[in-house]
Amino acid sequence: MIKPDLIISSKGLGVKTISFMTTKLLEDELIGSKQVKNKKKINKYFVTQLIEKPVIWMKQEHGNIALEASNQNIERTVNADALYSKEKGLAIAVETADCLPIILSSNVGSEIAAIHAGWRGLSGGIIESTLKLFTARLENVSAWLAPCISAKNYEVGKDVFEIFEARGLEHFFIPSPIQEKWYLDLQWAAQNILQDYGLIVNSTSLCTFDENRLFHSYRRDKTLRRMSTIVWNEE
């Protein structure tokens, strides 16, 4: 049983949908109890052992490929940046350390999705690719935006700005005092894209860069460690 104060629980998803994000506090407890020896594999270990459900993992490539997950995928890692599933009891997961994890859930059915949304994915249409897999009306789908890096800690250059500008998405940037630098708000961008499709969006103000006690952050520490955000529908 996972203690609720060791994870970040989702909000606003379907009544049968379970979703949460792991934290460094959970890792510390598992390492301290000697349940995990290899720290690099801690997320996958705890997911498979503690929730006692099959889990589909992704080899994330910062692209816009969204695939449907099924029990046939359990023994392998799927090359994608979003997974969709309609199988009850099957968990899907996304790993992040500053990028935005997005969880989708239909309110009246069993459809779920887990999205890895960095700047490349958002500008490349990873949200749109995932929404195309849903059969439910999108106004009956809810989204949870799990913790990611906040805009004030996510400065990017002209190359990133121009990619978003070409799609008409430059309004998700805040000018930096440094010439040809901007702050990108991943959460604001994702929320607007999702709401444009009619989804109900819930989010959190927690920042992976600021909250060192809770989260890994690649931009802060150049770490290879990741948090996992998991979702499944109860039987």
pLDDT at 52: 82
Identify the top-confidence range among 32-46, 58-72, 196-210.
196-210
Q: What is the spatial distance between Cα 163 and Cα 21, in angstroms, rounded to a whole number? A: 30
Structure confidence at residue 16 (pLDDT) = 85
pLDDT tens per residue across span 71-109: 877 767 899 999 999 998 899 999 999 999 999 999 877
Q: How confident is the model at residue 42 (pLDDT cuts 50, 70, 90)?
A: low
Residue 2 — very low, low, confident or very high, per pLDDT cuts 50/70/90? Answer: low
4-8: Cβ within 8 A, 24+ apart = 8/146, 8/147, 8/204, 8/206, 8/214
Phi/psi of residue 142, nearest 5 degrees: -110, 155
The 10s digit of each residue's pLDDT in 213-234 is: 999 999 999 998 899 999 999 8
pLDDT at residue 39 is higher than 80: no
Domain coordinates in residue numbering, the chain: 4-233
Averaged pLDDT score across all residues of the chain? 90
Higher pLDDT, 36 or 93: 93
Tokens at residue 86, please?
A: 């309609």
Domain 4-233, what fold?
CNF1/YfiH-like putative cysteine hydrolases (3.60.140)
Is the confidence at residue 15, as pLDDT, over 90?
no
Residue 96's pLDDT is 96
pLDDT at 29: 77
Q: Which ranges of the chain would DSSP assign to H, the alpha helix? A: 24-32, 42-50, 119-124, 126-131, 158-166, 186-196, 218-221
Percentage above 90 pLDDT, the chain: 71
pTM over 0.85: yes
User: How far is Cα 145 from Cα 207, in angstroms, rounded to an integer?
Assistant: 12
pLDDT of residue 43: 62
Would you state the pLDDT for residue 85?
95
* Higher per-residue confidence, 49 vs 134: 134
